[in-house]
Amino acid sequence: MFRRDLLFGGAALLGAAGLARLGSAMAPPGAQELVIQPATYQLRQQRTAGMVSLSPDAPPPVLYGRQGQEMRFTVRNTLDDYTAMHWHGLRIANAMDGVPYLTQMPIGPDEGFAYAFTPPDAGTYWYHPHCMTMEQMAHGLTGVMVIAEAEDPGFDTEQVINLRDFRLDAVDAFLPDYTARGAARGGTMGNVQTANWRQGPVYDHGAGSLVRLRVVNTDTTRIYNLYLDGGTARIIAWDGHPVTVEVPVPRAGAPLLLAPGQRVDLAVTMPVEEGRQLGLMADLPGRPPRLMAGLRAVGSGPKRDMAELKPLGRNPLSQPDLERAEMHEFVFGWTPEGNAPNDGVCGTPGYSFWSINRIPWPGDAAEGTGPLAVLERGKTHVLRLRNESPNLHPIHLHGLAFVPLRSSLRKLPPLWTDTMLLLKDEVIDIALVADNPGDWAFHCHVIEHQKTGLTGFLRVT
Ligand code: C2O
Ligand code: CU
Ligand code: CU
């Protein structure tokens, strides 16, 4: 049965809107309300109208949770358009994953949806809509989620950095979200670089203190080249999961590539000289965010040492059994015969440039969209990801974490992730245990690529 039969079949009984509202009818008490709404904000010289956030005049807040504890959100939509909220990287129940037509009906204007889930993993994650994605994400609706470890790892402070661009004209109004030219190539870059919606913000942390820096790339297009221009730092987590192997500290000349969707957690020891600043360089024309060694808290001890840091507790990831793995291949490239139409639902532009296994995504509500692969539940699967294009693609899988095994081009550390950057012509094998049942979206996180064909889903059953 096709997705549409299934969902519209159900919807015929309930009414399409009824299905979307079913969630809020069952809204559990104590849910945090997230109201998707228009916003204005001064990103540059003048206030920019037409932004999308969860309040009228501020960036989407950091949402905090704790590993193993339930989180409840009622998402209310006050826009004139459809939406659905996705929790990027969280391995939660499929029905809460927020993908229109795949896991729920889109949330219409004046409708709501109640999300409730228990994150099994600690770490740095994020949230964004999954319908009208370009329109809403490019206009601001990308926020960070912090899932605290069950046991406090003992930092003095922490700093969240949400890196993203906006595309503004000379009077700080939005330019078109993207161009067909960009979508068919590397993506359309923004021209105003921000951290937490600010240009070159400076964050004060006590001199000599130990800071957990959580850097999240929520941009729709840009891959950042990151490094800190001083201080002592160590990578402690990647895409939410604790790093258990030695990973080199990124530096000028050997920066860390942080692609859309990816996150890195760094432990940073602040300089002892008060007033000294550390730039989080991103090889951008804009001003980078900075950490400043501020006044030392009265009574605080001497400079904190990395060595004092105990390793982060492990997340409960199933270890792949490579001896018994099943292999699946995926080819990411252009559409076979030039532009193919798609259904224009949920912000797909009605044309495709990209495909997975030569099948361009026909649209979110389209008939005949089957899974790209069916993964037997509980088994180990190796996915061979082949990039047949000169453009870079951060390939993201919902609901499951995976680990890279090998690349045709470079040595990859075995870091658990949900978003793997494929370089030009690169082939990467990744392994996972299909331990979370459901239909999981599988797509490029350059949103223009996703919306012009480079998307699909995998079924775990
Ligand atoms: Cu960050 Cu399909 O999502
Ligand atoms: Cu996701
Ligand atoms: Cu892509």
- Tens digit of pLDDT for each residue in 151-160? 889 899 999 9
Q: Mean pLDDT across the stretch 181-209?
A: 93
Instruction: Identify the helix (H) or strand (E) that includes residue 450.
Output: helix 447-451
**Greater pLDDT, 19 or 232:** 232
Using only the alpha carbons of the chain, give its radius of gyration. 21
For residue 355, count other CB atoms closer than 10 A to its CB.
22
| pLDDT confidence of residue 308 | 79
For residue 141, count other CB atoms closer than 10 A to its CB.
27
| pLDDT confidence of residue 344 | 79
* pLDDT band, residue 117 (cuts 50/70/90): very high
Instruction: Identify the helix (H) or strand (E) that includes residue 20.
Output: helix 16-25
Domains of the chain with bracketed CATH: 3-148 (2.60.40.420), 157-308 (2.60.40.420), 322-460 (2.60.40.420)
| pLDDT confidence of residue 402 | 98
Report CA 148 to chain centroid distance, whole Å.
18
Tell me the residue length of the chain: 461
- Asked whether the whole model's pTM tops 0.90, one would answer yes
Q: Mean pLDDT across the stretch 410-437?
A: 97
Separation of CA 24 and ligand 1 centre (Å): 23
Residue 193 has pLDDT above 50, yes or no: yes
Query: pLDDT averaged over the chain?
Result: 90
Residue 7 has pLDDT above 50, yes or no: no
Ligand 1 is surrounded, with C-beta below 6 A, by 86, 88, 128, 130, 261, 396, 398, 441, 443, 445
Please list, in sequence order, all residues whose beta carbon lies within 8 angstroms of the beta carbon of residue 389, skipping any fewer than 6 positions away: 332, 333, 334, 424, 425
Residue 339 has pLDDT above 80, yes or no: no
**Nearest atom of ligand 1 to the alpha carbon of 443:** 2
| pLDDT confidence of residue 302 | 67
Residue 144 has pLDDT above 70, yes or no: yes
Q: Mean pLDDT across the stretch 287-313?
A: 77
Residue 157 burial (C-beta neighbours within 10 Å; 0-12, 13-18, 19+): middle
**Greater pLDDT, 319 or 16:** 319
Q: Mean pLDDT across the stretch 255-259?
A: 96
Whole-angstrom distance, CA of residue 368 vs CA of residue 365: 10
| pLDDT confidence of residue 15 | 33
Separation of CA 351 and ligand 1 centre (Å): 20
Separation of CA 226 and ligand 1 centre (Å): 22
Token pair for 241: 């999961």
